[in-house]
A = this chain, B = another copy of it.
Amino acid sequence: MAVIRAGIFGGSGYAGLDLVELLSGHPGVELVFATSSAYEGQPVPGTSLRFVAPDKASLANVDVIFLALPHTASARVAKRGLDAGIKVVDLSADLRLDSAEAYSADYDSAHPHPELLAAPYGLPEINRAEIAHADAVATPGCYPTTTLLGLFPLLRQRVIKPDVPIVVDAKSGVTGAGRKPSITTHFAEVYGNLLPYKVGRSHRHIGEMEQELRKIDDRVGPVIFCPHLLPVDRGLMSSIYLTLDDNVSSDQVHDVYSEVYDNEPLVDVLPLSEQASLKHAVKTNKCVISVTPILERYVHVTSVTDNLRKGASSQALQNMNLMFGIEETLGLI
């Protein structure tokens, strides 16, 4: 197997640092560079590299680039990469939506390169085939990954009651808010607190979640999404409450999940009586799911990931493995 030469744009943020760690441990990858404006010249942890400024990173010596950049900045580098014949694994929002209109509505800016929006949505358990044939992939973030994997089996079976709201009460560790200091992420503000934010229908990732949900079952109702900032560094939980259609009863639901995920190496479905907790997923590359029947037509699903792994960096690597035709879980289990 030829070694895949990789570069990271945005290597000093939290997702970037986990990507550095995972790529360094991947037996088929050589990490060639990692960029950082803020940490230029400083050592890249666990490697013999030093961070380079983004404009000094040459695309000439790499086969793939990972983009952990702010939106719009990411699209511009993605375009350069594709033009140079390199594969692109994007971790930003820039390739995720299906239309430039949706993008400008959610991100308050015109999309720099709308042609990139044809990239597949990089959730391997749902879109494995498309990812394997793509030159650029839009890796989804922590909230959509965790929520979509928590809903996918029921969507695929088309047994969620149409038009009824799906409640997603989500909780995220602080690394999900990025590494840039702000009063919101100040230790003394977060410590001992639990803070809901962007409640209801106002979080940017709702459009993306609903876009993907409806590709699988276009009858599902709106997502009521309430994220909370948890006083921990890592881990994300989506607590999902949903109503079933009349053709399935809640005690059949666990079997549906088991069947869909039995062969998925990076999704675990817990036994019926066990509840998924943050510790099941933190510092792993997995999504862990528990399912609880409540009423005859009502189900509770808890889906957890490490927001920096299956919710970002390890999923990006899983996509890379697929794009290069190598074992999907190489470097991940």
- Collect the chain B residues with CB atoms within 8 Å of residue A222's CB: 295
Is A192 a contact of B300 with CB atoms below 8 Å? no
Across the interface, A275 reaches (CB within 8 A) one of B199, B276, B295, namely B199
Is B188 a contact of A186 with CB atoms below 8 Å? no
- Collect the chain B residues with CB atoms within 8 Å of residue A171's CB: 171, 194, 228
Is B186 a contact of A224 with CB atoms below 8 Å? no
Across the interface, A201 reaches (CB within 8 A) one of B182, B230, B234, B294, namely B294
Across the interface, A194 reaches (CB within 8 A) one of B200, B226, B243, B278, namely B278
**A178-204: contact bitstring with B at CB < 8 Å (1 yes, 0 no)?**
010111011111111111110111000
Distance, CA A290 to CA B14, complexed state (A): 25
- Given A181-B182, A292-B200, A232:B192 Cβ within 8 A: yes
The answer, yes or no, to whether A211 is at the interface (CB within 8 Å) is no
**A156-190: contact bitstring with B at CB < 8 Å (1 yes, 0 no)?**
00000000010101010111000101110111111
Across the interface, A187 reaches (CB within 8 A) one of B167, B185, B292, namely B185
A109 to chain B, nearest CB (A): 24
Is B224 a contact of A300 with CB atoms below 8 Å? yes
A187 to chain B, nearest CB (A): 4
Distance, CA A233 to CA B278, complexed state (A): 15
The answer, yes or no, to whether A282 is at the interface (CB within 8 Å) is yes
- Collect the chain B residues with CB atoms within 8 Å of residue A313's CB: none
Is A193 a contact of B224 with CB atoms below 8 Å? no
Is A224 a contact of B241 with CB atoms below 8 Å? yes
The answer, yes or no, to whether A35 is at the interface (CB within 8 Å) is no
Q: How large is the interface on A (under 10, 10 to 19, 20 to 34, 35 or more residues)?
A: 35 or more
- Collect the chain B residues with CB atoms within 8 Å of residue A192's CB: 192, 232-235, 278-279, 282
Is A191 a contact of B275 with CB atoms below 8 Å? no
The answer, yes or no, to whether A44 is at the interface (CB within 8 Å) is no
Is A233 a contact of B275 with CB atoms below 8 Å? no
The answer, yes or no, to whether A239 is at the interface (CB within 8 Å) is yes
- Collect the chain B residues with CB atoms within 8 Å of residue A228's CB: 171, 239
Distance, CA A175 to CA B192, complexed state (A): 13
A297 to chain B, nearest CB (A): 10
Is B275 a contact of A232 with CB atoms below 8 Å? no
A141 to chain B, nearest CB (A): 17
CB within 8 Å of B: which A231-273 residues: 231-235, 237, 239, 241, 243
Is A181 a contact of B183 with CB atoms below 8 Å? yes
A14 to chain B, nearest CB (A): 7
Distance, CA A235 to CA B195, complexed state (A): 12
Distance, CA A53 to CA B226, complexed state (A): 36
CB within 8 Å of B: which A210-228 residues: 222, 224, 226, 228
Is A224 a contact of B187 with CB atoms below 8 Å? no
The answer, yes or no, to whether A72 is at the interface (CB within 8 Å) is no
Distance, CA A331 to CA B192, complexed state (A): 25
